[in-house]
Structure 1
Amino acid sequence: MEGMNRVQLAEFLKDRRARVSPADAGLPAGARRRTPGLRREEVAQLAGISVDYYARLEQGRGPHPSRQVLAALGRALRLFEDERAYLFRLAGEQPGPPAGPSQVVSAGIRHLLERLDDTPAFVIDAKYDLLAWNRMAVRLMGAPPPERNMIWNAFCGPWPITPDSPAEVLAFADESVADLRAASVRYPDDEGIRSLLARLHAASPEFTRRWNEHHVCVRRTTVKTVTHPEYGELTLECQLLHADEQGQRVVFYTAAPGSRTADILCGLREHANA
C-alpha cells in the first residue's frame, strides 16, 4: 500500500519488542532469556495474529497490516499514544482513537506500591476499576470489595450516594462522573466503559442525573475525610499520579506533617510491617 514504510516499520517493531518485559505485558517470566524483551511468538499471541505474519512484519516483507492489527500491536507492545500514532503512520494509516484503558499494571508501578510502606496507595484505570494496592491501603480502607469499580460502589454499593449524603461525598460523585465522561470521550470504542455506563444508568438515578449534566473534567489533587473503624475521622490529601497514557492513575493518601492523621498513618505503617 502506498505510504507504507516496511523497513522503518520492521525496525520500530523490533525495537519496541526488545523494550517490553514479560511482566509489563502480564506474562510469566518463564525460563531464562538470551535477549531482553518479548519473543516474537509472545507478541503474536498478545496481538491475536499468527507468529509467521508477525515475523514477516519484523523482516520488512509482510503485507499491509489492517487498522485492527495495528491497534492490537499497539496494545501488545504497550505503546504510548505518540508511539501508537507513529506506528500507524509508518503503515500509511492515520491514527484512530486511543486504545482502551489497560488493566495490566506494569512491574515498575507494582514495585513502587511495594516500596511505599508509609503511604496508602492504589492503582485505578480510566473507568475507576481498582487494579492494584499496597498493604498500607488495606490497613487504611480494609480489603478490596468483590466489586472492584469505585464508581459502582459509590452509587450502587451497600451505602449508595443520596441527595442527603455529606458534601464531600457529593463532591466526589460529581467529579468522578465528570471524569468518567472524559474517559468515555477519550476511549469511545471501549466496551468496558460502555458496559459500566449501561449498568450505572440502569441502577442509579443519582448517577444518571449527574451524567445528564454533561460536565467533563479530569480529577486532580483533593482533600478528603475518611472514617477509620478504630481511629475515627482522618483528613487525607489525595494525590494522583498519571502512570501511563492508557488511563491508569496511582492514588496516594498523605497527611499534613505533624497532624493527627500523619501520626495515625505512622501507626498503621507499624501494623502493616509487623
Structure 2
Amino acid sequence: MIGNSLGEFLRARRSRLSPGEVGLPSYGKRRVKGLRREEVAVLAGMNSDYYARLEQGRERSPSAQVLEAISVALRLDDPAREHLYRLAGATPSTRPAPRETISAPLRHLLDGYGTVPAFVLNPAKDFMALNALAGALFAPFRAVDNLARMTFLDPAARRFFPEWDRFAESIVAGLRHAEGLDPAYPRLREVVGTLIEQSESFAALWSAQTVYGKSQDPTRIVHPDVGPMALVSQSFDVRGAEGQLLVVYQPEPGTADAQALTLLGTLAATEMVSGERTRRGGGGW
C-alpha cells in the first residue's frame, strides 16, 4: 500500500481525465484510459521523462513547484491536492502515533450527549467509544467495531444506509485521507488490507484514489425500530489525542427525523431498564 502510493495516485487521477476536458486534441485509438503521461507532462510544463519517473517511483522528492503544476494539470480539488503533497512528503509530518485509548473527560463528554448519537473513531475507523444512543443507532449491525468493516462487510449496511454508494465513498475517502497523514499506521494498513481481500466494492473504490472533504449533506439512515432518519454529521478533532475524531449525529430540530431519534432513545432507555430489572430478578412495578 505504501510502496509507490504517489505513482498509484497520479495514474488513477490522470485516468479520469480525457484530452477534451483539458483542451488537448485526441488522435486515433488510445491504448490507455484517460490522459497519457506525456500529456500530463505537457500540461504541467515539465519533462515527460521526469514525470514518468514520478509515476514509476524512481523519483520521490518532487519540489512544491512541481507538485503545484501537477495539481493544476490533473484538475485536483483542494483535498486531493493536499493528499498529493502529503504522498510526496512535501508537507513535513511531525504527527505522533494515533492515541488508541480515550481519556476519562472525553468519555464523560460522550455520555453527556444524551439526546444525540456521539462516538469516537480512530483514523482506521475503529469505534473507540460511543454513547448509549449511538449504540442504539448502530444496533442493527452484528458488531459495532469498525465503521469501514461494517459498511462493506455487514449485510445490514445496505439496508441501514439507503444511499449506500455515497456513504461508502465517504468512508473510503476518509481512509485515503488518513493514509496521506500517516501511511505507515499499522491498524490502517490492516483494515485496508482486509477490506481489499474481502470486498470487491471496497477494492474498486480504493483503487479509484478518491480524496475529498467531508460533505455537510445529511446521512440518511433507515432504522428497523423507528424508520428513516436524516442526520447531519459533525466531526471534531480531539485535542491532545492524536488521530481521534469525535462524531456527533444531529437531526434538524422540530422535524420527523428529530422525533424518530427521540423515539429511538426512549426505546433504548426502556430496554436498558428492562434488562437491568431482569438481571436483578425484578418483576413489575
Measured after TM superposition, the shift of residue 141 of structure 1 is 2.6
Q: Aligned to 2:155, which of 145, 154, 158?
A: 158
Aligned to 1:222, the other structure's residue is in SS state coil
- Is residue 124–residue 250 contact of structure 1 (8 Å, CA) maintained in 2? yes
- Is residue 216–residue 233 contact of structure 2 (8 Å, CA) maintained in 1? yes
Aligned equivalents of 2:268, 2:138: Cα separation in 1:
12
Aligned equivalents of 2:265, 2:149: Cα separation in 1:
29
| Change in 2 beyond 3 A, CA 1:131/1:188 | same
Q: How does 1:109-124 map to 2 (within 5 A)?
A: 109-124=106-121
Q: RMSD in angstroms over aligned alpha carbons?
A: 2.7
Q: 1:223 aligned to 2:218?
A: yes
Measured after TM superposition, the shift of residue 146 of structure 1 is 3.5
Measured after TM superposition, the shift of residue 128 of structure 1 is 0.6
Measured after TM superposition, the shift of residue 272 of structure 1 is 4.5
Aligned equivalents of 1:122, 1:257: Cα separation in 2:
20
| Change in 2 beyond 3 A, CA 1:147/1:134 | closer
Aligned equivalents of 2:266, 2:157: Cα separation in 1:
33
- Is residue 121–residue 250 contact of structure 1 (8 Å, CA) maintained in 2? yes
Measured after TM superposition, the shift of residue 173 of structure 1 is 1.1
Which residue does 2:255 correspond to in 1? 259
Measured after TM superposition, the shift of residue 145 of structure 1 is 4.1
Q: 1:242 aligned to 2:237?
A: yes
Q: Deviations over 1:71-101 (max 9, x none)?
A: xxxxxxxxxxxxxxxxxxxxxxxx8652332
Which residue does 1:212 correspond to in 2? 207
Aligned to 1:217, the other structure's residue is in SS state coil
- Is residue 141–residue 150 contact of structure 2 (8 Å, CA) maintained in 1? no
Q: Deviations over 1:137-159 (max 9, x none)?
A: 12333277446111112112234
In structure 1, give the amino acid aligned to 2:169: D
| Change in 2 beyond 3 A, CA 1:222/1:240 | farther
- Is residue 142–residue 154 contact of structure 2 (8 Å, CA) maintained in 1? no
Q: Aligned to 1:171, which of 166, 173, 180?
A: 166
Q: Which runs of 5+ in 2 are unaligned?
A: 1-91, 271-285
Which residue does 2:192 correspond to in 1? 197
Q: Which runs of 5+ in 1 are unaligned?
A: 1-94
Q: 1:142 aligned to 2:139?
A: yes
- Is residue 140–residue 228 contact of structure 1 (8 Å, CA) maintained in 2? yes
- Is residue 119–residue 252 contact of structure 1 (8 Å, CA) maintained in 2? yes
Aligned equivalents of 2:167, 2:155: Cα separation in 1:
17
Aligned to 2:210, the other structure's residue is in SS state coil
Aligned equivalents of 2:258, 2:162: Cα separation in 1:
24
Which residue does 2:45 correspond to in 1? none
Measured after TM superposition, the shift of residue 250 of structure 1 is 1.4
Aligned equivalents of 1:160, 1:136: Cα separation in 2:
18
Measured after TM superposition, the shift of residue 117 of structure 1 is 1.0
| Change in 2 beyond 3 A, CA 1:106/1:144 | farther
Aligned equivalents of 1:168, 1:241: Cα separation in 2:
24
* TM-score computed with the length of structure 2 as normaliser: 0.56
Measured after TM superposition, the shift of residue 130 of structure 1 is 0.7
| Change in 2 beyond 3 A, CA 1:170/1:227 | same
Q: Deviations over 1:6-34 (max 9, x none)?
A: xxxxxxxxxxxxxxxxxxxxxxxxxxxxx
Which residue does 2:38 correspond to in 1? none
| Change in 2 beyond 3 A, CA 1:264/1:166 | closer
| Change in 2 beyond 3 A, CA 1:232/1:269 | closer
* TM-score computed with the length of structure 1 as normaliser: 0.58
In terms of mean alpha carbon deviation, does 137-146 or 214-223 score higher?
Answer: 137-146
**Percent identity between the aligned chains?**
28
Q: Aligned to 2:183, which of 188, 191, 196?
A: 188
Aligned to 1:113, the other structure's residue is in SS state helix
Q: 1:268 aligned to 2:264?
A: yes
Q: Aligned to 1:104, which of 101, 104, 107?
A: 101
Number of aligned residue pairs = 178
